[in-house]
Structure 1
Amino acid sequence: MDKIGFDNGKYRDLQSSRIRERIGQFGNKLYLEFGGKLFDDHHASRVLPGFAPDSKIRMLQELADKAEIVIAICASDIEKNKIRGDLGITYDVDVLRLIDAFRSQGLYVGSVVVTRYAAQPAADAFKRRMESLGMRVYLHYPIAGYPNNIPLIVSDEGYGKNDYIETSRPLVVVTAPGPGSGKMAVCLSQLYHAYKRGVKAGYAKFETFPIWNLPLQHPVNLAYEAATADLGDVNMIDPFHLAAHGATTVNYNRDVEIFPVLSAMFEKIMGECPYKSPTDMGVNMAGCCIVDDEAVCAAARQEIVRRYYAALCDRRTGQADDELVYKLELIMQQAKVDASIRPVIAASARVAEETGNPAAAIELPGGEVVTGKTTALMGATSATLLNALKRLAGIDHGSHLISPEAIEPIQSVKVSHLGSNNPRLHSDETLIALAISATTNPLAKRALDQLARLRGCEAHSTVILSPVDTGIYGKLGLRLTCEPTYETNKLYHK
């Protein structure tokens, strides 16, 4: 279990104060490009132990009276039915989810903007659907030569062709279901329209990572590079900041590469660029809230190894290539880390070697590692889960929490009626059986009460797990890695 290394309360106070300050800098109208996840930022909570996954949305709640949300979605993403990998839903459906989520937190969603719109039928259908639900929808169009043809972009035939998004509050947060949705272009288009109308406004960017005031090779920044290795992001020293201020800060390649273009756009829109560097554009205060650098370094190194194992499995399943794995191996070398920092890997491997079957392991909050093996009744992840709960509850390992007689009917239904070839209980089925047993078995109740203590624990499986088991471990907050090996030699795996 991670030691606390991040002051979450201080972060919320500093971050909201910094954004208020930036709003005031631009005459009380700021378009804030919000990168990363506003909800459920589990990467940040893993590498900055103490950071709450909902920190950013809580921070925005402190600005709720000043803020409105604009959600950007790219028309081509609607057309292609692009899917969010973490949620398994399409971007257009995620817009609905985000609207509901913002509203449930007391935040005002003003409108949706469809970017790079070129009369795609799916985008038209999306627009009609949103309008039928009472949402205002605006259209932004592709611009030839974007982002380099600045005379065209910053003209009535460029940004000027886009719909002007009517907003009513000082802070306009532009967010999106995922990367590449055109958030920055939306902000700059709004600036163009505002200045054409004689209205002073500004732009700023909020990205949690990389953390600008940590060293380039700091494990937290390397963990961000590992997380975005598939996007080709690379951390680098901000040369513009160094030249303008004589101070070394960290940014990433895409922002550094685009800054000269952005600067020229600002000059054409506003008469001058208000920023000297990409770092100046940012408002992130996370680096000022680290209270235990050793703790965040240890957590970030764990994240790098987890990302490496995820890439190995993605390569095995055909979702990634060798290049991604090589990038992560290089990042591991830079962080001076290897798989030995995860005791669950060696522990599960020992059990698998002894039994000749898949095995798993969970590292408990105190550092003790509990293992589980494949049996006739349960898969290894189910067995490991039960063994971990027993240990946390102080229950003897030999005690039965779920009687074999209760498991056998479940297996019969799975095989005889639900078409399963595997009679062993998955993690979800095991937890349901445990919950039923808890109504009559006090030991089962005691074990079930320990579920919350698994959150943040490390886990490892010697084989690639089914989506069901992976999902249950994720919902419990277990930080799972898997060996890039299938349980069987079949070509098709569910």
Structure 2
Amino acid sequence: MDNQKIGFDSKKYLELQSKEIKKRIAKFGKLYLEFGGKLFDDFHASRVLPGFVPDNKLQMLEQLKDEAEIIIVISAEAIETNKIRGDLGITYDEDALRLKSALEDRGFYVSSIVITQYTGQMAADRFRNRLQALGIPTYTTYMIDGYPANIPAIISDEGYGKNDFVKTTRNLVVVTAPGPGSGKMATCLSQLYHEQKHGVKAGYAKFETFPVWNLPLKHPVNLAYEAATADLDDVNMIDPFHLEAYGKTTINYNRDVEVFPVLESIFEGILGECPYKSPTDMGVNMVGYAIVDDEVCKEASRQEIIRRYFETACNVKRGLASKNELIKQELIIKQANVDLNSRQVVNAALKKEEETNGPAVAIMANDGHMVTGKTSRLLGACSSALLNILKDLAGIDHDVKIISPEVIEPIQSLKTHYLGSKNPRLHTDEILIALSSSANTNPDAKKALQQLPRLKGMQAHSTVILSSVDLSTLKKLGIAITCTPKYED
């Protein structure tokens, strides 16, 4: 039943990427490797490159575990503003601790956490105190006046010299963060400055995933990256420095291209010369060589572009995104020649809504068959669809009740009479708890519960904006959900 098409060879990618990183270590002696994108849980990559495992990067690093240490950086501003990691729904500071714990559980050496872009934020002070209480080595880097243009100020005792020198002991130092804008590159360059002061030869490289430098500019995989970073105003572009140096067309993104002349000057100021001729040279990215079915990746990327459009449209409705961001998503849809109607779950959900005259949810299994759910007295449409797909996977008739009303009604009573909820219908987390309770006495409920791992990778759509609880639960189950940008009420 679960026959997802594969377009990407993870094993080949791991071999190529680790081999390229070893070359960089050999070139410099000691390497600061900035990790672009997510080290753990790269769900975007797994969606646009079917076959890419969400922790592929980690598997690759495990081959270098004995010579690698990891620094986690987090921006003081992200701590101050309680910035949320959208795919997991947790703050950046909590994710920094989660990252550290998860990496150490896999046997990696995490040497420290660095608070970057510090200007006296009180929340950052509290986080530093918390880290120190936990016995975690903590360092601070500061905002530099005139950064990044004022090179003499940056490469001075009042620039990088003012930053803490992060003590490292291994030849490969991986610098990662909960999300973009955390100050990874600035931390790497600051370390190069301090290492040079200490008489240590060190170099820098950037572990890249997107954009894929050796795919065309308007390839759906690269356009899907633009859609994913629409809030950052990232734009893919041809790398003019690489074209000039080698006569070859490669793809990078605007921020790296714009900052390259500055980086060139910083490298010259620290190392005496710049080791790279282009932003593409700086990156280590073998993704393009591991694509084994281009059409599969193209279609997966088109679907991701549609998902990103709906996500942005809902965020605009919630007041969490600007209309300009939505305009950019609409432009990407045109560039990718994408038809919104090609997301089949949208049409199925809208049809169910029309039939039932109420909010509806559709879930498409990995083999392409569709299951829907409607709003009822006991269940919201999302919970209904979730139960229906679990029944489907378990081979249970949809008319069979795997959770009795006697189990559901006490939960409804608790919600409305004691917890102040006006909505008696069960959310997806509550229906899963009820299903778990029923599994002790009902064999069908137990059989349905055992299908949960098979939900990973499925597509879903709701005809109304779902609650944060439902969105979070579906993400944890690995279901890619979109919503029509309207509220139920």
Q: Same fold (TM over 0.5)?
A: yes
Q: How do 1:43-62 and structure 2 match up within 5 A?
A: 43-62=44-63
The CA deviation string for residues 429-473 of structure 1, in whole angstroms up to 9 with x for no partner, is 222222222333222222222222221111111111111211221
Shift of 1:157: 2.7
Contact 1:2 1:299 in 2 (8 A): no
Residue of structure 1 equivalent to 2:344: 343
Structure 1 letter corresponding to 2:316? R
Of 41-50 and 117-126, the range deviating more from structure 2: 117-126
Distance change >3 Å, CA 449–CA 73, structure 1 → 2: closer
Specify the code of the residue in structure 2 equivalent to 1:75: A
Look up the match of 1:271.
272
CA distance in 2, matches of 1:128, 1:422: 41
Note closer, same or farther for the CA distance 1:127–1:475 as it changes in structure 2 (3 Å cut): closer
> Which sits farther off after the overlay, 153-162 or 339-348?
153-162
State the Cα deviation string for residues 84-139 of structure 1 (Å, max 9, x = none). 33333333333222221221111111122222333444333333332232222222
CA distance in 2, matches of 1:452, 1:25: 44
The letter of the residue matching 2:477 is: L
1:257 corresponds in structure 2 to 258
Aligned-partner Cα distance in 2 for 1:180–1:443: 48
* CA distances 1:289-347 after superposition (whole Å, capped 9, x unpaired): 11111111111111000000001111111111211111111101111112211111111
Structure 2-normalised TM-score? 0.96
1:161 aligns with 2:162: yes
1:148 aligned partner: 149
Deviating 4+ runs (over 6 angstroms): none
Match of 2:137 in 1: 136
Distance 1:33 1:361, change over 3 A: same
Note the alpha carbon deviations across 1:61-101, whole angstroms, 9 max, x for none.
11111111112222333333333333333333332222212
Distance in 2 between residues matched to 1:122 and 1:216, nearest whole Å: 41
| Contact map agreement 1:2 1:295 (CA 8 A) in 2 | no
2:225 matched to which residue of 1?
Answer: 224
Match of 1:310 in 2: 311
Give runs of aligned pairs for residues 398-413 of structure 1, distance below 5 A: 398-413=399-414
Q: Letter of the aligned partner of 1:40 in structure 2?
A: D
- Per the alignment, residue 127 of structure 2 pairs with 126
Corresponding residue of 2:18:
16
Render the CA deviation track for 1:332-369: whole Å, top value 9, x for unaligned.
11111122111111111111112211111111122111
Change over 3 Å in CA distance of 1:350–1:38 after alignment to 2 = same
Instruction: Tell me what 2:37 maps to.
Output: 36
Alignment RMSD? 1.6
Using a 3 Å threshold, how does the CA distance of structure 1 residues 411 and 69 change in structure 2: closer, same or farther? same
Once the 2 structures are TM-superposed, how far is the Cα of residue 261 of structure 1 from its aligned partner?
0.6
Cα distance in 1 for partners of 2:408, 2:72 equals: 48
User: Superposition pairs for residues 157-306 of structure 1, below 5 Å?
Assistant: 157-306=158-307
1:21 Cα deviation after fit: 0.8
Instruction: Give the distance between the partners of 1:245 and 1:55, measured in 2 at CA.
Output: 31
How far apart are residue 403 of structure 1 and its match? 2.4
Unpaired runs of 5+ in structure 1?
Answer: 489-494
Q: Does 1:6 align with 2:26?
A: no
TM-score normalised per structure 1: 0.95
Instruction: Give runs of aligned pairs for residues 58-73 of structure 1, distance below 5 A.
Output: 58-73=59-74
Gaps of 5+ in 2: none
Question: Equivalents in 2 of 1:89, 1:377: separation in Å?
Answer: 30
Pair 1:81-2:82 in alignment: yes
Structure 2 SS opposite 1:421: coil
**Does the CA-based 8 Å contact 2:89-2:472 persist in structure 1?**
no
SS in 1 for 2:85: coil
SS of aligned partner of 1:177: coil
Identity %: 65
Report what 1:492 is aligned to.
none
Q: Does 1:372 align with 2:373?
A: yes
CA gap 1:220/1:357 in 2 versus in 1, 3 angstroms: same
Going from structure 1 to structure 2, the CA distance change for 1:393 and 1:190 (only over 3 Å counts) comes to same
The answer on 1:466 being equivalent to 2:467 is: yes
The corresponding residue for 2:438 is 437
Q: Contact 2:87/2:475 (CA < 8 Å) preserved in 1? A: no
Between the aligned partners of 2:406 and 2:127, the Cα distance in structure 1 is 52
Where 2:8 maps in the other structure, the secondary structure is coil
How far off is 1:177 after superposition?
Answer: 2.3
Hey, what's the Cα distance between the residues in 2 that align with 1:118 and 1:301? 41
